[in-house]
Homo-oligomer: A and B are copies of this chain.
Amino acid sequence: MKVKEIMDKEFIVVSPGDSIVDVSIMLENHRKFTTPVVDDAKKLVGWVTSLDVTRGLREGNKTIKDIMHSKDDIVHVHQNDPARLAVLEASQHKVVSIPVLDDDDVVVGVVRTFDIVKTLSSLYEVKVSKIFEAMTEELKGVSWDELMEASAIVTRRRTGKRVKPEDYERRIKDSTFGEAIWATGGLEKFFVGLIAIGELVIARKVAKARK
């Protein structure tokens, strides 16, 4: 995934010569805490936050160029950078938004942390049952019921808890991938549990075929 796929294209821009009062109204109306400052060619020249604006208003500054951060002092990414880079930059620098540039340094978007949260969290929200459905499609000759039975057996072996196949089925229908990796203690452990289930159903399939 690239930065351009997660960036917000509905952003506002301001100019170094804009009045601070006008920009404060603009930020309030658009509910933005930050905005890129661009030149006449829409190239990034700086960055302003609502905290720069409060200071500017208090101290009686007149225009954006008096309060803005220069381009060199802020984080920015390229639209073709991996989305991963914007995610790392946002969490490392603890910023709420990052301007996105094209090859000519023109601002083409803004990546916002709540959009990143939305993108990242969609993975966590995948229902565990979807993974099991994909498993039965992949493992030809293994039925859903056989998979649930094997899952109940593996759960008992690993946790010592007795669960019925139908309890297991209900649990994976209700739970998300995020909850599952949390409950099992991490991605690797979650996956190893699946492999153990896969190993058991395959062993049973082989045994059945031999009869």
| Residues in B neighbouring A130, C-beta threshold 8 A | 187-188
Tell whether A96 pairs with B84 under 8 Å between CB atoms, given A91-B121, A138-B196: no
Tell whether A121 pairs with B123 under 8 Å between CB atoms, given A51-B50, A54-B28, A134-B188: no
Minimal beta-carbon separation of A188 from chain B (angstroms): 4
Question: Across the interface, do A191 and B188 meet the contact criterion of CB distance under 8 Å?
Answer: no
A206 within 8 Å of B (CB atoms): yes
| Residues in B neighbouring A115, C-beta threshold 8 A | 91
Name A52's closest neighbour in chain B (CB-CB): B28
Name A126's closest neighbour in chain B (CB-CB): B187
Question: Across the interface, do A113 and B96 meet the contact criterion of CB distance under 8 Å?
Answer: yes
| Residues in B neighbouring A90, C-beta threshold 8 A | 114, 117
| Residues in B neighbouring A188, C-beta threshold 8 A | 126, 130-131, 133-134
A58 within 8 Å of B (CB atoms): yes
Question: Across the interface, do A24 and B54 meet the contact criterion of CB distance under 8 Å?
Answer: yes
A181 within 8 Å of B (CB atoms): yes
Q: Please, how many angstroms separate the alpha-carbon atoms of A124 and B135 in the complex?
A: 22
Output the residue of A82, A124, A177 with the most chain B CB within 10 A.
A124
A1 within 8 Å of B (CB atoms): yes
As a 0/1 sequence over residues 8 to 26 of chain A, the CB contacts with chain B under 8 angstroms (1 = contact) are 0000000000000100110
Q: Please, how many angstroms separate the alpha-carbon atoms of A116 and B118 in the complex?
A: 10
Name A33's closest neighbour in chain B (CB-CB): B33
Name A31's closest neighbour in chain B (CB-CB): B51
Minimal beta-carbon separation of A4 from chain B (angstroms): 14
Minimal beta-carbon separation of A2 from chain B (angstroms): 10
| Residues in B neighbouring A134, C-beta threshold 8 A | 188-189, 191-192, 195
A54-B54, A84-B121, A199-B202 given; 15 more Cβ-contact pairs under 8 Å: A21-B58, A33-B49, A50-B50, A90-B114, A95-B114, A113-B116, A113-B117, A116-B117, A120-B121, A123-B123, A130-B188, A131-B187, A134-B192, A134-B195, A177-B187
